[in-house]
């Protein structure tokens, strides 16, 4: 389950990302008002390669004053961008989409370097999925009915205004494009604060926006930390909406900071997603795919199905299949073609995963594989051992708390009603999976699960599917038409088609 290969020639390509950004003068700049500008403060942050624990670059951090400058630029640009045609906005998004695909390798290398994604995963999933959000946003801009009629009324859906977008480190480009694409398609202008832990792909994205011909002020990038830049965005009276993806704890702070100005707050927060395996499921298909889904992106996905809820009568078969699936995982240098799973993204996350594995052991869960520490032969880097616990019950911390790493809990049940109860027995409700050969029964169970998405029998990812949470997993939706509509206000114009009004004949 681990690999100890020497850094490959791809390492030089990863280094070229830093050289590109440094030679272009991006690492010490913000993108505000259509220009690369020097921030107002002197603070910097190190970008750490999680595979070596070594710094690879220093980026400039913005200040509250930089946020104010960016918001002012976005406010000026909103006057014209908000009334531009949907077709013109779609054309710009088409150019953005084409440039992302053209520079896909550079983006993949940046993501692998800044947050440890295996290069194959970055190439095949992280970057193409991010590009899809832009393509879908362009399609939606063209097709959405921004004005409809109901009797003598016109119902107008218009851009909400200046939007502050705060994105996380785990899917750095994917989360940026999901928010920026929808906001621009709606006619909003934006100020983006990416995670300071994975800022390289955000800087490359700002280059794409510039090269695509974005009008000055429509898109702005301010790097920085949450307590200063994130809080300044949330508090700013000229920001009309905050879209935040991250932990539930941080989301609460953002909502509290936004409350005095009564701005819209859309949040995609934590999760502890169930994978409910029905008694008739084909375990040879359901279990390996379930392990793969739980450990996708090294388990660093809010919707990862990290609770596999299985029939107690079939528990031993599930355990055997889960162990076989875990044995095929290759943990190692993320720049190696043989690696399937790199390190977790940062030291804080490594420590969190180790802590929760220790808690699972102390709680008495059965450790099937993995455990504390790094995989053998990996002496440095934030590498975690793919870990599977069995005989977990719903009151254990490892069944309730989001771990955000390669840790899977197998929970047995005695009846389908009990399985549904277990699936819903968390404060979260972001994603869920149901496996079963009787599609009618699977649909009935899916209808009873309280979450924003339910996947039956591992369907293909669909960028048009709205994504968001119930309960403490957040509010609002991203992706697809519903993601676009988050950035729109509704205006009713009465008397718009009144029969006695001049010019209505």
CATH number for the domain spanning 131: value is 3.40.605.10
Provide the pLDDT for residue 497.
Answer: 82
Question: Looking at 163, 188, 302, 384, which residue is catalytic?
Answer: 302
Residues 338 and 255 in one domain: no
Task: Write down the mean pLDDT value for the chain.
Answer: 95
Residues 302 and 344 in one domain: yes
- Is 254 part of a structural domain of the chain? yes
Residues 230 and 209 in one domain: yes
Determine the average pLDDT of the residues in 284-303. 98
- Comparing C-alpha atoms, which of 478, 472, 479 is closest to residue 272? 472
Round to whole Å and give the CA distance between 450 and 431. 9
Round to whole Å and give the CA distance between 168 and 362. 31
- Is 466 part of a structural domain of the chain? no
152 token code pair: 């003598």
- 2: number of Cβ within 10 Å: 17
pLDDT at 8 over 80: no
Residues 240 and 306 in one domain: no
Residues 253 and 315 in one domain: no
Burial of 499 (0-12, 13-18, 19+ CB in 10 A): exposed
Round to whole Å and give the CA distance between 28 and 195. 16
- Is 499 part of a structural domain of the chain? no
**For residue 462, what are the contacts with CB-CB under 8 A and spacing of at least 6?**
none
Residues 481 and 427 in one domain: no
> Which tens digit of pLDDT belongs to each residue from 111-142?
999 999 999 999 999 999 999 999 999 999 99
Conformational region of residue 257, where left means phi above 0, alpha means psi within -120 to 50, and beta covers everything else: alpha
Residues 247 and 393 in one domain: no
Provide the pLDDT for residue 77.
Answer: 98
- Is 223 part of a structural domain of the chain? yes
Determine the average pLDDT of the residues in 28-51. 97
- Is 483 part of a structural domain of the chain? yes
Instruction: Give the confidence band of 413 by pLDDT, cuts at 50, 70, 90.
Output: very high
Beta carbons of 67 and 232 less than 8 angstroms apart: yes
Question: Looking at 139, 196, 268, 402, which residue is catalytic?
Answer: 268
- Is 505 part of a structural domain of the chain? no
Provide the pLDDT for residue 53.
Answer: 98
Residues 221 and 335 in one domain: no
Round to whole Å and give the CA distance between 90 and 126. 23
Beta carbons of 272 and 400 less than 8 angstroms apart: yes
End-to-end CA distance of the chain: 74
Beta carbons of 266 and 246 less than 8 angstroms apart: no
SS3 340: coil
Domain of 323 in residue numbering reads as: 274-456
Percentage of the chain lying above the pLDDT 90 cut:
95
Round to whole Å and give the CA distance between 370 and 367. 7
Determine the average pLDDT of the residues in 461-466. 97
- Catalytic-residue membership of 363: no
pLDDT at 5 over 50: no
How far is Cα of residue 144 from the mean position of the Cα atoms in its chain? 24
> Which tens digit of pLDDT belongs to each residue from 298-343?
999 999 999 999 999 999 999 999 999 999 999 999 999 999 999 9
Instruction: Output the CA–CA distances (angstroms, integers) from residue 39 to 35, 222, 418, in the order listed.
Output: 12, 9, 55
- Is 239 part of a structural domain of the chain? yes
Instruction: Output the CA–CA distances (angstroms, integers) from residue 332 to 357, 375, 504, in the order listed.
Output: 20, 9, 70
DSSP 259: G
Round to whole Å and give the CA distance between 409 and 111. 28
DSSP 108: H
Beta carbons of 100 and 134 less than 8 angstroms apart: yes
> Which tens digit of pLDDT belongs to each residue from 198-256?
999 999 999 999 999 999 999 999 999 999 999 999 999 999 999 999 999 999 999 99
**For residue 7, what are the contacts with CB-CB under 8 A and spacing of at least 6?**
333, 335, 336
Question: Tokens 């009873």 sit at which residue?
Answer: 448
Beta bridge partners of 191: 164, 220
295 token code pair: 């450990």
Dihedral sign of CA atoms 31, 36, 40, 44 in order: positive
Residues 179 and 287 in one domain: no
Residues 261 and 337 in one domain: no
Instruction: Give the confidence band of 3 by pLDDT, cuts at 50, 70, 90.
Output: very low
**For residue 52, what are the contacts with CB-CB under 8 A and spacing of at least 6?**
380, 381
State pTM to two decimals: 0.95
Residues 16 and 29 in one domain: yes
Beta carbons of 212 and 92 less than 8 angstroms apart: yes
pLDDT at 101 over 90: yes
Dihedral sign of CA atoms 119, 120, 123, 126 in order: negative
- Is 503 part of a structural domain of the chain? no
H runs (alpha helix) in 274-415: 283-295, 315-327, 347-363, 397-400
Rg of the chain over all Cα atoms, to the nearest angstrom: 23
Burial of 315 (0-12, 13-18, 19+ CB in 10 A): middle
Q: Give the pairing type, strands 162-166 and 189-193.
A: parallel
CATH of the domain at 370: 3.40.309.10
Beta carbons of 222 and 191 less than 8 angstroms apart: yes
Buried b (16+ CB within 10 A) or exposed e, 381-401: bbbbbbbbbbbbebebebbeb
Round to whole Å and give the CA distance between 407 and 388. 6
Angle between helices 127-143 and 172-186 (to 10 degrees): 10
- Catalytic-residue membership of 132: no
Domain count of the fold of the chain: 2
391 token code pair: 């005989």
Residues 254 and 390 in one domain: no
3-state secondary structure 54-88: EEEEEEECCCHHHHHHHHHHHHHHHHHHCCCCHHH
């Amino acid at each position: 389950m681990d690999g100890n290969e020497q850094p490959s020639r791809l390492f030089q390509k990863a280094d070229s990302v830093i050289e590109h950004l440094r030679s272009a003068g991006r690492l010490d700049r913000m993108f505000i008002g259509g220009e690369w500008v020097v921030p107002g403060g002197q603070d910097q942050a190190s970008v750490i390669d999680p595979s070596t624990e070594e710094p690879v670059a220093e980026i400039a951090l913005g200040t509250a004053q930089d946020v104010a400058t960016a918001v002012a630029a976005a406010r000026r640009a909103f006057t014209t961008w908000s009334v531009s045609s949907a077709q013109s906005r779609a054309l710009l998004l088409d150019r953005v989409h084409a440039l992302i695909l053209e520079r896909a390798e550079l983006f993949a290398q940046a993501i692998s370097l800044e947050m440890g994604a295996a290069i194959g995963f970055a190439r095949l999933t992280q970057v193409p999925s991010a590009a899809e959000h832009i393509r879908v946003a362009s399609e939606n801009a063209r097709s959405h009915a921004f004005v409809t009629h109901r009797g003598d009324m016109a119902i107008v859906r218009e851009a909400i205004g200046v939007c502050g977008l705060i994105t996380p480190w785990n899917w750095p480009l994917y989360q940026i494009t999901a928010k920026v694409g929808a906001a621009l398609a709606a006619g909003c202008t934006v100020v983006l604060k990416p995670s300071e832990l994975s800022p390289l792909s955000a800087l490359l994205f700002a280059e794409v926006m510039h090269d695509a011909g974005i009008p000055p002020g429509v898109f702005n990038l301010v790097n920085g930390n949450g307590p200063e830049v994130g809080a300044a965005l949330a508090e700013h009276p000229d920001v009309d909406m905050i879209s935040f993806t991250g932990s539930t704890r941080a989301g609460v702070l953002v909502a509290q900071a936004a409350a005095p100005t009564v701005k819209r707050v859309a949040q995609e927060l934590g999760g502890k997603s169930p994978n409910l395996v029905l008694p008739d499921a084909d375990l040879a298909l359901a279990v390996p795919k379930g392990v793969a889904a739980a450990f996708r992106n090294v388990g660093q996905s809010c919707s990862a199905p990290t609770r596999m809820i299985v029939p107690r009568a079939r528990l031993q078969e599930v355990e055997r299949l889960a162990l076989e699936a875990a044995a095929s995982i290759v943990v190692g240098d993320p720049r190696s073609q043989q690696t399937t799973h790199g390190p977790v993204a940062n030291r804080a996350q490594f420590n969190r995963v180790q802590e929760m594995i220790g808690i699972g052991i102390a709680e008495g869960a059965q450790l099937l594989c993995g455990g504390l520490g790094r995989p053998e032969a990996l002496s440095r880097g934030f590498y975690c051992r793919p870990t599977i616990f069995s005989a977990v019950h719903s009151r254990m911390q490892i069944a309730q708390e989001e771990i955000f790493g390669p840790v899977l809990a197998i929970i047995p049940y005695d009846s389908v009603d009990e399985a549904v109860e277990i699936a819903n027995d968390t404060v979260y409700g972001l994603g869920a999976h149901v496996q079963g050969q009787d599609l009618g029964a699977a649909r009935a169970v899916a209808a009873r699960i309280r979450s924003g998405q339910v996947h039956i029998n591992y369907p293909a990812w669909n960028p048009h599917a709205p994504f968001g949470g119930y309960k403490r997993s957040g509010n609002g939706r991203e992706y697809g038409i519903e993601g676009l509509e988050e950035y729109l206000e509704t205006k009713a114009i009465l008397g718009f088609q009144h029969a006695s009004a001049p010019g209505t004949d």
